[in-house]
Amino acid sequence: MSPFPTSTVLGYPRIGPRRELKRALESYWDGRSGRAELERAGAEIRERTWRRLAELGLEGLPSNTFSLYDHVLDTAVLLGAVPERYRAAEDPYFAMARGTDGLAPLRMTKWFDTNYHYIVPEIGPETVFKLDASKPLAEVREARALGYETRPVVVGPVTFLLLAGAPERLDDVLGCYEELLAALAAEGVAWVQLDEPALVGDRTPEELEAVRGAYDRLGSVTARPGLFVASYFGDLGPALPVLAATPVEAIGVDLVRGGGVPDLPGKTVVAGVVSGRDVWRTAPERALAALGAVRAGRVTVSTSCSLLHVPYDVDAEPDLDPGLRARLAFAEQKVAEVVALARSDFQGPVPAAPSVPLTSPAAPEERAPYAVRAAAQAAHLGLPPLPITTIGSFPQTGELRAARAAVANGTLSEDDYERRVEAEIERVVRVQERLGLDVLVHGEPERNDMVQYFAEHLDGFAVTRNGWVQSYGSRCTRPPILHGDVSRPGPITVRWASYAQSLTDKPVKGMLTGPVTIVAWSFVRDDLPLRDVVFQVADAVREEVRDLEAAGLSIIQVDEPALRELLPLRRAAQADYLEWAVAAYRRATSGAADRTQIHTHLCYSDADQILAAIDGLDADVTTIESARSGARILGAVSAFGRGLGPGVYDIHSPRVPGADEVEDLLRRTLEALPAERVWVNPDCGLKTRTYEQVESSLAHVVEATRRLRAEL
């Protein structure tokens, strides 16, 4: 077996440095281009990646880290796990990812504690696994034609099945993995990377036994590549000795988040010392100390996880303050760090951390009990039963985005831009009035993004120009960089919210992003405890809540869709996190008067895991994703005893739900909840949809709600 290369990365961004994949996908989906053009765009991104990694001096190049939508979905396809109903679709892959007119997509949820979303494979007793290795093989050949030998990366069998909720099918998928190993060996592939991030979570003795069995079995395939099992996002803990006892030749450990590495005689340790989760330059003494602690036959320098979670290149950010830039490393810079560490000529400057005052926030005053608030709000708002609302954003039109770009490059004046935003707010208000919604929103036309917008208006943050990171499919975000102490120089959203309120007699809901979410979707300074950073942001949000209320807004929504995302993967650390996260939210919202109604919104939250915490937010109304995750959530949250708006349709799909379908869902909701607590709303913001889709969908929602109101 050839030795494992001395430097590698576990994966690389794949959206393209200028989001080329996004454009190619959207053009293909809109029918403006064909499959061949899409494939060509993918091939260009892969080629550029391999060339760049090789140029930077990286030895171990990965392949099959590219995906047209999602690598978990790719793994499902690799294993033949395509549910029957999608097989006849024109494009089964994208039908699973996004749905079609007649077909809902597969469920999507967050990848561990990141803001990347994967498609949840659907595996039932009827699923017949059958290997289709065409994609990894094609990438190996494609790279080879360019002169590069690569290591295919595939989600490992244990993680794949745990994510799919079907661990009992392990024996069945292992047959496919055995065949895959044989096929790769026949292709002359030296090493394969099987990603097993699920092993850094709490695993039962049975699950660890399954790991042992799986890798003993894969290890005994006679003609196979070297087996590299990669873990990341934490410490392997008890899974490490289990893996070490199997025939796998290389084990990847996250030395940024995880602990030390015990002796692994005879194995290669792929040491993740360069963080794939942040944008800070690696402190050399820390990395070298971590590498020095690895006592093993061989050590490879690597990233702590795939670089999928960071932007491409700091050099594409000329606007950043030079002092900050000097502290930053994106994917390209991180690869260079890996190479330098492997050559032991690492000389990165130690990042200069700003000096930091210690915050010890005093407990803020609490709001009155819910019953008192509810009475005050009912009297103040006078809403009909089953009030209909939306989650905040309305379609972000191309004109608006163009106008923002024009302001940025100086061809549109700030005043003209503001008038366009006002015109859009007026349009959104009129649409909602015409449709018959009860609680209106201003539509968020001034926001490029629910976190970036606040980051742009708070001190202590920087925003990037090209720092895109894939969120799901073609969707990318530009996480702001929280690099210093956070404070609010002045009101942020008040003028837009009060403008909307001035246009209508219906209540308008002010719209803010919660402190945990602002921090979760940013790259955060690592010189302060996360809790202290979140509390600083909470204080800024609190000031905004007070100003909205003073400006006459009676309802304020503080979104916290990322509450679940920061939950530590190991149970032992979760209670502490949830306690301070909830405290931060209450700190942000508890300045509101009793008659001011606080809403919160969560999506893809796997709410069942953090129910007590969501309850602890003590919001008067909680709107939550449920269209995709189904009735499961409903039963679980019905115990809150406060207002609840389970999403009545999935906004992530272009599909327009019928009134009957919405009525059905509402009926089921009313079986689980008393009518006086039920709100009616889509399951998330509408900004990725078109006005046409939104208006038809909401018209059906209103129609369904009216039918049910008539029965109350």
Indicate the helix (H) or strand (E) that contains 567. Answer: none
Nearer to Zn ion, 65 or 390 (CB): 390
Q: Per-residue string for binding with Zn ion, 678-697, x by CB under 5 A?
A: ------x-------------
Looking only at residues 433 through 492 of this chain, which bind Zn ion when binding is defined by CB under 5 A? none
Q: How far is the CB of 651 from Zn ion (least distance, A)?
A: 8
For ligand GLN, the closer CB: 254 or 444: 444
In whole angstroms, the minimum distance from the beta carbon of 684 to ligand GLN comes to: 5
Selection from ligand GLN, Zn ion, none that 687 binds (CB < 5 to 8 A by kind) is ligand GLN
Q: Based on CB atoms, which residue is closest to ligand GLN, 587 or 652?
A: 652
Active-site residue identified among 483, 601, 652, 700: 652
Q: Rounded to the nearest whole angstrom, what is the least distance from the CB of residue 511 to ligand GLN in the complex?
A: 5
Nearer to ligand GLN, 246 or 623 (CB): 623
**Where along the sequence are the contacts to ligand GLN (CB under 6 A)?**
391-393, 444, 450, 511, 559, 561, 601, 603, 684-685, 687
Rounded least distance, CB 533 to Zn ion, Å: 23
648 binds Zn ion (CB under 5 A): no
Tell me: does residue 255 bind Zn ion (CB under 5 A): no
Q: Residue 602: CB partners within 8 Å, gap ≥ 6?
A: 559, 560, 561, 563, 564, 614, 622, 623, 624, 625
Q: How far is the CB of 443 from ligand GLN (least distance, A)?
A: 9
Using CB atoms, what's the residue nearest to Zn ion? 603
652 is catalytic: yes
Cα-based torsion angle of the residue sequence 661, 645, 584, 685 in order, rounded to the nearest 10 degrees: 50
Return the range that interacts with Zn ion (CB under 5 A); candidates 207-215, 284-292, 598-606, 641-649: 598-606
Which one of ligand GLN, Zn ion, none interacts with residue 479, CB within 5 to 8 A by kind?
A: none
Phi (first) and psi of residue 307, to 5 degrees: -80, 5
The one-character DSSP state at 31 is T
Q: In whole angstroms, how close is the CB of 269 to ligand GLN at the nearest point?
A: 39
- Nearest-5° angle of CA 174, CA 179, CA 180? 95
- Is residue 603 part of the contact set for Zn ion (CB under 5 A)? yes
Within its chain, how far is the Cα of 209 from the centroid?
31
Q: Extract the tokens encoding 122.
A: 């659907």
Dist CA 701 CA 389 (whole Å): 10
In contact, 644 and 622? CB cutoff 8 Å: yes
Is the CB of 304 or the CB of 390 nearer to Zn ion? 390
By beta-carbon proximity to ligand GLN, the closer residue of 105 and 685 is 685
Picking from 21, 23, 25, 14, the residue whose alpha carbon sits closest to that of residue 52 is 14
The interface partner of residue 203, options being ligand GLN, Zn ion, none and the CB cut-off 5 to 8 Å by kind, is none
Sign of the Cα pseudo-torsion (154, 566, 521, 620, in order) = positive
Distance CA 338, CA 302 (A): 6
Helix extents (H) in 99-166: 134-145, 157-164
Q: How far apart are CA 225 and CA 304, in angstroms?
A: 23
Residues 551-570 that bind Zn ion (CB under 5 A): 561
* Torsion angles phi and psi, residue 117, rounded to 5: -110, 135
The distance of closest approach from Cβ of residue 392 to ligand GLN in the complex, given in angstroms and rounded to an integer, is 3
Partner touching 249 among Zn ion, ligand GLN, none, CB below 5 to 8 Å by kind:
none
- Burial class from Cβ neighbours inside 10 Å (0-12, 13-18, 19+) for residue 390 reads buried
User: Nearest-CA neighbor of 255 among 302, 308, 310, 203?
Assistant: 302
Q: Which one of ligand GLN, Zn ion, none interacts with residue 511, CB within 5 to 8 A by kind? A: ligand GLN
Using the rule CB under 5 A, is 607 a contact of Zn ion?
no
Q: Are 368 and 86 in contact (CB under 8 A)?
A: no
User: What, of Zn ion, ligand GLN, none, does residue 450 touch, CB below 5 to 8 Å by kind?
Assistant: ligand GLN
Residues at the site binding Zn ion, with contacts judged by CB under 5 A: 561, 603, 684
Hey, which residues are catalytic here? 652
